[in-house]
Structure 1
Amino acid sequence: MPSFDRILAPGRIGSLEVPNRVLLAPMGTEMCTPDGRSTPREAAYYRARAAGGTGVVMSGITAVQSDTEPITQGLARIDTDGHIAGIAAIAEAVHSVGGLFALQLTAGLGRNINTVREGQVPVSASDNTWFGDPSIRCRPLTTDEIAIIVRRFGEAAVRARQAGVDMIDLHGHTGYVLDQFLSPVWNRRTDAYGGSVQNRVRFTAEIVAAIKESYPGVPVSFRLSVDHRFEGGRTPASTREIAVELERAGIDLIIADEGSYEAMDYVFPPYYLGDACMAGAATALKEVVSIPVAAVGNLRPVDGERLLEQGRADFVAIGRGLIADPDLVNKLRAGRSADVRPCIRCNAYCTGNAFFGKPVECAVNPAVSHELEAGPVPSANPRHVVVIGGGPGGMEAARTAALCGHTVDLYEQDEQLGGVLLPAATPAFKRELRSMITWWERQLAGLDVTVHTGVTIAADSPEVAAADEIIVATGSVPLRPRGIEGLDEHTVDVLAFHRGAAVGKRVLVAGGGLSGADAALELARDGHRVTLVEVAPELARDMLMVNRVTLLRDLSEAGVRVLTGHRITRVTAGGAVAEGPDGEVTLEADTVVSAFGVLPARSLVEQLGDSPKVHPIGDCVQPAKVGEAVRAGYAAALALG
């Protein structure tokens, strides 16, 4: 069992004594009222992370002003006294379990804003193009407006002090307003706020001074993009100079981040980017500042411990990992690191929900944002529950039913649990999916769930007759489109490929959804010459945008030939024929991998009929994402009572 002595060691941020080195990285919750007031639901969400042992619980961005741009509906606010109570309720909830609460403040989005007031244009450090419409140029903030924003930060600090906030974080990354002033790519001013590094930091320095005057002794941290990850954007070399000036301005901690709206996948790094994908950012700043530096970005506990041991960071900021498991720190402290629920970095319900203004949730933790609701509790009527299907929905149903005190038998027809996750987790970039299977297996063993693998259950099986309740999670079967000559004779299904079916040097992947695209990337990285064919105009079109950015870039860098708008009409022993915009094209390949999608595996559900003790869930009802199957399993088990 690995040791986490460094992560669990106390630390210090300015005047604040911190019990360990783990910070909840600031992420929006989308749980506020439309006018930006914090809610009991949000307080319960933060309280759970504090109760789980997190050193400092940091909020998502909170607006301090609407003088220069409108505040997005639902965004947290602290620009009026009426918003103090909600923030105070969060601080009180965090303090009630011995935690510390930091409030992240933002000056606004500037050129990155989504909407502007009628008749106005966006503001920025200079006359930059508006990200939402490059044909429109922004209006540079005047010095009077800068002074107003600085004053608003001071007023926000007074309210934060009244609310009982322990620390303030400044949102200075992703190309928001403060970042626009820091960066030469966006700051071309010739006044006191442009030109030299000292001038470009001046706006932030004045804000820090206003905060510390209004709230004496409060630690102030700054989330800084060390590498913008686009041509012309800021690089680590220039950011190091900025970090030195931020320390001189009174910043007590820097969270070393990367990315920008131009490189959005680094703002919300998907699984393609791998573990600790921004660790170099923290390292770059540690070499030039004496204040603490926090690393962030796809950090597992083992990554954080290693960075601290190597002296490359002083704190580790974990966002999605603490959404997936709010008890992460307590589990490390108890020597139960194997029980930490992995984040699979899918972005589907955390980042994905935020894009649509929906409260944060999690693909693997169905309790997220429902902390005020009753979770699994001992049943007043324990029963014998049979779960058929060991995929994500079935495993979660079995886990939850056992937590409720039921006797649970889980049946899986394959020799291993995992369902579709098992073959899908073969690429190195999807390792956390496999970790999730291991996590479920460990939880089921600890809850005395009896797992039967290699067993096929039929409607007339004695196990069905003996069950009080039956949760059916039989998953899906591959879709085989009609009208494609030679499809059955000359293709390897994508799941069979993941399970080890042999493929040749030249591979044609038929189907450019997520499954096909990921398979194409895995094949190309393993040295195959890959062609990816998709009938739609674009690949993985239902994939979350920030993930898709990385996928498309990686496919290109791996040399995958992509043909969109092409329909496979015939498969042969030597490849396939496709119909495209310019007519028929012959595609030579040693192996054709079919990835046309899936259909519900409804056979058993239909055979079992409409019995009230039968509860179908997951893909056998409607194929969907992993998170939907997990939610369905959790809900079905809770509904048993």
Structure 2
Amino acid sequence: MTSTPVELSPYDPLLRPITLGTMTIPNRVVLLPMGTEMGTHEGLITDREIAYYTERARGGVGLVMTGIAAFSQDFEQINEGLCRVDTDAAIPGLTALAESIHAAGAKVSLQLTAGLGRNINVVNPDRPPISASDNPHYADPSVLCRPLTVDEIQLLVQRAGEAAARAALAGIDAIDIHGHTGYLIDQFMSPVWNRRTDEYGGSVEARCRFAVEIIQAVKKAAPGLPVSFRLSVDHRFPGGRTAEESRKIAVILEAAGLDFILADDGSYEAMDYVFPPYYLGDGCMVSAAEALKEVVSIPVVACGNLDPDTAVQVLNEGKADIAGVGRGLIADPEWVNKLAQGRREDIRPCIRCNAMCVGNAFFALPLGCAVNPQVGLERERVITPAPVSKHVVVVGGGPGGLEAARVAGLRGHQVDLYEKNDLLGGVLLPAATPEFKKELKAMISWWERQLAQLPVTIHTGVELRADSPEIADADEVIVATGSVPIEPASIGGLDSDQVVSVLDAHNGAPLGHRVVVLGGGLSGADLALELALEGHEVTIVEMGEGLARDLIIINRMTLLRQLADHNVTVLTNHTVTQVTSGAVVATHDGQDVVIDADTVISAFGVAPNKEFQEAAQAQGRTIVAVGDCVTPAKVGEAINAGFAAACEL
């Protein structure tokens, strides 16, 4: 009798166990270290933070790596909300974290940091920032850092050991050393920031001495705990470290006792690689892992916009041993379990917008997510069955409406969703046309798949009015009718045949070679980049001082660089006055400027589409409005509003 061969999943390489020093994890997916800003004012771990990490452990991730935890307050103060392990007060929280993650079937690693050095957020006049040398402070170059003395360096090494001992006592499984992105340890390793002439400067070996001594102190204080190190392989700015020297550093760190290594790119000078936006595409830092994989014998973790398909490809090609996933596991904590269950299509995509994860951190707000409204509120935002099943009508199939329909359906309501267009997605659909925004398109497909499994009936090509019979018997009506384009009446010629709306341009309207985009907001700038990539000669005309000014700075950094790289002409502080045959006329410093154009794109922004809700209110109908029809905003705000509205039904 022959046995039937077991058919392996294409994602099986991600699901195989791996041993890291003395620790074996059940699969090759790790949650990368990311700050949560969920700690107490004093820097202690909270139940909210534990719930966030535990949700990812329950979702199947092999190793949960925490955000940075400061092992010293001797020379700089960690930001409020971030973790501290410089006193025994940290042990109870670490113990509760370890126990919770172990109960969920995963391992946990604590990331230790020596500090930010020249990158510290706030400069205290009475406490100059520290660094390896007298480097200018990143945000305020007029402030010079104070080089650490040898005695101070050795005190930090001692503090690292003390923190590791606390972690071991609490049941933490591994320690990661925060050595990347130009923070303090990295400042010692890099010649651009280390000009010392003592034993901690000069040769590569000497510049690595601080990192090596920390690794050794951690190994001694927490015997048996595996130790990893996160290394920026390419700083991505002129004068910064490149892969050639990073490979030498990796060999030195391995010899110091390292058990595995995390490879990425970036620095504050190239911060978009620290938090890669959608413009950088899939696997944008895999080359860093590949460079280290060639010179070390310990396991290497790759990262940088890894979706499941990119991640398994990296492992299959031998470029890394482990997939490091950060924002993808924020968006969907069940990432690993869904792969193991053969449910790849059910993984909610990370749209790489950085809006509520990185963006929140910039303002010292707790971690959130544009596409997963439960992030950071895992205990509070539990989707529970409704006490009474209602008939819910959702008007509008954009992000707010789709999320409202999904959550209402999950709660057991009978939902009818009406979308006036033939396809779902609302403003997401045309915005998702460029390759660099493919995750937006994947998000629409994800909603369609989820809704197909719920008591939700979708009606496309049907535009409802406030008096439409379809809503007459509805118990609840959620309105998500989106926005309408703004067309300034002061500009002549916008009704000519050569003018195309930004939405129509995305939807395939024929365009000439020379395209002038009127409006440099995000939609206009993204379209300009898309058209430049297709070979058009593109000019953006913007009346303000800069492009995409409401875009998070990290994403904007990449956008502006890529616009320049693809020769997009940017005319800021130019006010459009008229569109004529074959040209756009604008004023700048009191002078008329004529820009030749075969096609003109109207991208002046949008206003709320309040027609339905105003008519409903006039009829005395109670509705709930969400998304752009309330106030035009980012996609995450619409999704979170839709989620909240459905939870209140």
User: TM-score, length-normalised on structure 1?
Assistant: 0.99
- Segments of 5+ residues of structure 1 without an aligned counterpart are none
1:385-464 pair list within 5 angstroms: 385-464=392-471
Letter in 1 for 2:544: A
Letter in 2 for 1:492: V
Matched, 1:128 2:135: yes
Aligned to 2:587: 579
Aligned to 1:150: 157
Secondary structure at the residue paired with 2:515? Answer: strand
Report deviation, 1:198. 1.4
Secondary structure at the residue paired with 1:481? Answer: coil
Aligned to 1:608: 616
Counterpart pick for 2:379 among 361, 372, 375: 372
User: CA–CA distance in 1 between the matches of 2:422 and 2:123?
Assistant: 57
Matched, 1:222 2:229: yes
Secondary structure at the residue paired with 1:321? Answer: helix
Counterpart pick for 1:514 among 519, 522, 541: 522
User: CA–CA distance in 1 between the matches of 2:408 and 2:464?
Assistant: 19
Matched, 1:624 2:636: no
Partner deviation per Cα, 1:317-371 (whole Å, 9 max, x = no partner): 1000000000000000000011000000000000000000001110000110110
Report deviation, 1:2. 6.0
1:61-80 pair list within 5 angstroms: 61-80=68-87
Secondary structure at the residue paired with 1:257? Answer: strand
Report deviation, 1:448. 3.4
Matched, 1:160 2:167: yes
Letter in 2 for 1:22: V
1:586 to 1:390, Cα distance in 2 relative to 1, 3 A: same
Partner deviation per Cα, 1:502-525 (whole Å, 9 max, x = no partner): 110000000000000001101111
Letter in 1 for 2:259: D
User: CA–CA distance in 1 between the matches of 2:301 and 2:184?
Assistant: 22
Aligned residues: 640
Counterpart pick for 1:114 among 100, 121, 130: 121
Report deviation, 1:582. 5.0
Report deviation, 1:613. 4.0
After TM superposition, the structure 1 stretch with the greater mean CA deviation from structure 2, 323-332 or 115-124, is: 115-124
Counterpart pick for 2:276 among 244, 269, 282: 269
Report deviation, 1:315. 0.4
Matched, 1:637 2:646: yes
Partner deviation per Cα, 1:61-120 (whole Å, 9 max, x = no partner): 011111122222222111111122122221121112111111001000111112233323
User: CA–CA distance in 2 between the matches of 1:91 and 1:317?
Assistant: 20
User: CA–CA distance in 1 between the matches of 2:286 and 2:453?
Assistant: 35
Partner deviation per Cα, 1:556-601 (whole Å, 9 max, x = no partner): 0010000000110101221211011251111110111010000111
Counterpart pick for 1:569 among 567, 572, 577: 577
Aligned to 1:309: 316
Does the CA contact (< 8 Å) of 1:378 and 1:404 recur in 2? yes
User: CA–CA distance in 2 between the matches of 1:15 and 1:526?
Assistant: 51
1:43-62 pair list within 5 angstroms: 43-62=50-69
User: CA–CA distance in 1 between the matches of 2:506 and 2:381?
Assistant: 39
Does the CA contact (< 8 Å) of 1:69 and 1:116 recur in 2? no
1:457-476 pair list within 5 angstroms: 457-476=464-483
Aligned to 1:287: 294
Aligned to 1:523: 531
Does the CA contact (< 8 Å) of 2:412 and 2:455 recur in 1? no
Secondary structure at the residue paired with 1:305? Answer: helix
Counterpart pick for 1:38 among 17, 41, 45: 45
User: CA–CA distance in 1 between the matches of 2:451 and 2:581?
Assistant: 45
Report deviation, 1:136. 2.2
Secondary structure at the residue paired with 1:133? Answer: coil
Letter in 1 for 2:139: G
Secondary structure at the residue paired with 2:314? Answer: helix
- Segments of 5+ residues of structure 2 without an aligned counterpart are 1-7
After TM superposition, the structure 1 stretch with the greater mean CA deviation from structure 2, 411-420 or 577-586, is: 577-586
Report deviation, 1:547. 0.4
Counterpart pick for 2:325 among 318, 324, 327: 318
Letter in 2 for 1:257: D
Does the CA contact (< 8 Å) of 1:70 and 1:117 recur in 2? no
Partner deviation per Cα, 1:164-205 (whole Å, 9 max, x = no partner): 111110110000011011111111111111111211111111
Aligned to 1:299: 306
1:2 to 1:388, Cα distance in 2 relative to 1, 3 A: farther
User: TM-score, length-normalised on structure 2?
Assistant: 0.97
Aligned to 1:101: 108
Partner deviation per Cα, 1:600-620 (whole Å, 9 max, x = no partner): 111111111175641111111
Aligned to 2:559: 551
User: CA–CA distance in 1 between the matches of 2:330 and 2:556?
Assistant: 22
Report deviation, 1:163. 1.5
Letter in 1 for 2:500: V
Report deviation, 1:549. 0.4
Does the CA contact (< 8 Å) of 2:391 and 2:414 recur in 1? yes
Counterpart pick for 1:28 among 11, 17, 35: 35
User: CA–CA distance in 2 between the matches of 1:532 and 1:185?
Assistant: 37
